[in-house]
């Protein structure tokens, strides 16, 4: 039986073979059968007889649970799983739609289509209503417009931040349901 050259202590991932420091471990063989609690040295020898490594799968248990696995294959599959999880996660962006209080019907429809598209893609939408000049004295028109937007989009989105004034603009944030 040939011994492997001593490898450096693993920085990340599970401990295996001679890096397992506890005296006794609960052992599960390559077929998933429980072999019971064994001394660590004895378990490492049994794993080597089968041509596998003794890998600590549950270090917090008492005693720690170890399995007969191929450590290289185990690390490779864990890396593939992590890469797949990273690839499928998506960050939620905030898209902004700017309007004016006296917006025309067609322009309003175009903005609503954009809002629907953004919400459909899973992004949040910040609706900004900019007031200029005398429009600032008619904030109720802006409030009515934002309430109309919220009512039309209510089936696919919820209002996350209700309309509020910030300087010369009125803001509202919509999020997908």
Does residue 52 contact residue 67 with C-beta atoms inside 8 Å?
no
- What does the alpha-carbon distance between residue 150 and residue 127 come to, in Å, rounded to a whole number? 10
* More confidently predicted of 2 and 105: 105
- What does the alpha-carbon distance between residue 93 and residue 115 come to, in Å, rounded to a whole number? 13
* Backbone torsions φ then ψ of 43, nearest 5 degrees: -65, -40
Confidence label for 26 from pLDDT (cuts 50, 70 and 90): very high
What would the pLDDT profile of 98-136 be if each residue is shown by its tens digit?
A: 999 999 999 999 999 999 999 999 999 999 999 999 999
Predicted model pTM: 0.55
Whole-number pLDDT of residue 13: 79
Domain chopping of the chain, boundaries: 17-87, 94-176
The Cα-based distances of 97 to 17, 26, 149, 176 in angstroms read 59, 59, 11, 15
What would the pLDDT profile of 36-83 be if each residue is shown by its tens digit?
A: 999 999 999 999 999 999 999 999 999 999 999 999 999 999 999 999
- What does the alpha-carbon distance between residue 72 and residue 69 come to, in Å, rounded to a whole number? 9
Q: How many CB atoms lie within 10 A of CB 14?
A: 20
Does residue 67 contact residue 28 with C-beta atoms inside 8 Å?
yes
Q: At what angle do helices 105-120 and 139-152 cross, to 10 degrees?
A: 50
The Cα-based distances of 64 to 14, 43, 59 in angstroms read 12, 12, 5
Fold of 17-87: Ubiquitin-like (UB roll) (3.10.20)
CATH of 94-176, one of 3.30.950.10, 3.30.110.10, 3.55.40.20, 3.40.50.150: 3.30.110.10
């Amino acid at each position: 039986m040939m011994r492997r050259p001593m490898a450096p202590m693993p920085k990340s991932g599970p401990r295996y073979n001679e890096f397992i420091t506890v005296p006794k471990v609960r052992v599960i063989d390559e077929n998933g059968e429980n072999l019971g609690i064994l001394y660590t040295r004895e378990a490492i020898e049994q794993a080597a007889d089968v041509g596998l490594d003794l890998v600590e799968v549950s270090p917090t248990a008492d005693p720690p649970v170890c399995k007969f696995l191929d450590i290289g294959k185990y690390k490779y599959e864990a890396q593939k799983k992590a890469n797949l999880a990273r690839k499928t996660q998506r960050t939620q962006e905030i898209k902004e739609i700017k309007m004016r209080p006296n917006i025309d019907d067609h322009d309003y429809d175009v903005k609503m289509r954009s809002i629907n598209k953004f919400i459909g893609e899973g992004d949040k939408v910040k609706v900004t209503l900019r007031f200029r000049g005398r429009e600032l004295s008619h904030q109720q028109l802006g409030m009515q417009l934002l309430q109309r937007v919220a009512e039309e989009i209510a089936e696919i989105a919820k209002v996350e931040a209700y309309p509020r004034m910030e300087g010369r603009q009125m803001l509202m944030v919509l999020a997908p349901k």
